[in-house]
Structure 1
Amino acid sequence: MRVFQNFGLYPAYVRRLNKLASSASSFSERLQVFLSDSFGACHLLKPVIDGDGDAFFTTGDDVITQRFWAIEHGLAANTTPEQVLLSQIEHHRTEIFYNLDPVRYGNDFVKKLPGTVKKSIAWRAAPSGNADFGAYDLLVCNFPTILQNYRDRGWCAEYFAPGHDPAMDTFSENSGRPIDVLFVGGYSRHHRRRAEILEAVSELRSDFRVVYHLDRSRATRLAESPMGWLLPLNEHRRPTGIRSISRPPVFGSDLYRAISQSKIVLNGAVDMAGSDRGNMRCWESLGCGALMVSDAGNYPDGMINGATIMTYDDPQSAPASIRAILNEPAKLREIAVAGTAMIKSRYSKTVQWENFQRLCN
């Protein structure tokens, strides 16, 4: 089965990739830098990670990566990103097109796929407004509420979960974890519930080492700039307690490293799938050996409160729950170890690939 996987990048991560791959001079070199950094690796299919000759992987929205491929294959300098991606699919003789960037490459793109493509599959795990993905043969994600919304619109949709990245194994073995509580994620005025939790937990900083790696929105960065303090932008600024423990955002292997230095990873869902839970931080926290403490809800199989993860009911109860478990280090490690063992077995790359193959039938 010839599988083509297309991946979309965050703008903040592209800046990191440009630094890491500054000396890369070919498509394969830049792509290898990306794959070695493990960004979003829980989404990568096993044949991609293994370097299987029947699998093709690219980051279709990364101009530099795609330009390398276009030049190497004799395409004109003004070839559009869409045409480069279509040329790659045709060159690969793709049978299964798996797209993790369907907002950028939607229905119009799917209708142009070459005849070798037997099935088009798109991952989309976020509300998409009026976006239409109906041209795809199948939509997948790990949020049942979102999947039901797709079905209600007449689209085919099936449950599909991320997989454990084997590169996490060396990070999970780290026993020296000087950070008591870590949070990594975005911060904007739209993350109201998240901001409330972060502010509440930041109160633990007087007794524990609490670190937040925040990817601030453009409005938040402006509001906190010297000029921004002169403007009426208070709603965009982070509270003092949050700012005092904040660090720059981390991605890829730096994210893994940060988690491996932490006893607890604080997680908080955003309002996108009701009570469903299962964002990427679940896989990353458990995979790198930390105890994930997150908000209560419906989690994927194996993520059980008190057994493999811990949950809190509301922002007000989170600090007390975290303080209590930090004062029981043996119990903390027991749950963290159980969580890592669960994610490695139940969500292995082999299991993920087997599930994907079933979706292709």
Structure 2
Amino acid sequence: MARAADALLLLSFGGPEGPEDVIPFLENVTRGRGVPRERLDEVARHYLHFGGVSPINALNRGIIAATEAELATAGIDLPVYFGNRNWTPMVEDTVARMAADGVRSALVFPTSAWGGYSGCLQYHEDIARARAAFGAGAPELVKLRQYFDHPLLIESFADAIRAARQELPAGRRDRARLVFTAHSVPVSADLAAGPPGDGGRLYSRQVAEAARLCAAATGFTDYDLVWQSRSGPPRVPWLDPDIVDHLEDLSGKGVDAVVVCPVGFVSDHLEVIWDLDSEAKDKAAELDMAFARAATPGADPRFARLVVELINEHLTGTSPRRLGKAPQYGCTRNGTPCTPGCCAAPARG
């Protein structure tokens, strides 16, 4: 059944674009969570190491440009808008501009492939908040489905893994260990991830499935899945092991070469280039371990094709293309979760 849409909204996390933006941005990210100022200052140093500029907005603009070209090639007339949760362009402002432009119904593509609170439900909250801020007459906003096991995403990661392996010294290449990483979340949040009665752990199950598919596509029969970028007080359990700790464990077992694939990330934003290209890479050098990091798929032309495929699914009723067996949930409307009580927000503090 055909369903109409007037526009596409790319909805993302946001990031600072200058040193003066860093602390206000981090205050937006942590609002209501009681994070002490010294922790913000610590994270701010990561951004200031790169001139106070996160690459995420530029990467998203690249995805938008590629998607616009792909839409034109496919003959789909949809203007593409850009909105963020935590920094300009803020999604509330973008939705207001869409309404002023006459948009009545838009599809929303989130830069997260996953279920769970941070990967899915929080985007619903962004949509609902932006519509409420505008008030009566706000455009209808339909969030597109989760896409963690889409063939184009898996193909892109698989090619990136092959390319990274070729960067390793020839003498260590064939014995390199494949290590997948994704953003850690509180264990309590992962346990609550998914609709009631679905068993929880939706996020970690989806990440594990994507890792399995990527490993199979590249001929690795054995691999590891670890986590990165945890935050919050140490007393709160998060998914582990951490990538840096895991490299030490691997070294103790005689592993001297790794390919690290950030399967949980769409783009090379700050948490990838700091946690992997800086901290993990430095730890590997300290351990005399050859290290190569696979690229994320956002800059791959196939990613824009993935976006357009998801749009076509919605507009034409085409069956979803997916490779995995882990649960995956579909389009939702106006910030309403797929199921009441799905993916509860993690407890703060």
Give the TM-score normalised by structure 2: 0.38
Give the TM-score normalised by structure 1: 0.37
Q: Which has the larger radius of gyration?
A: 1
The structure with higher relative contact order (CA 8 Å, sep 6+) is 2
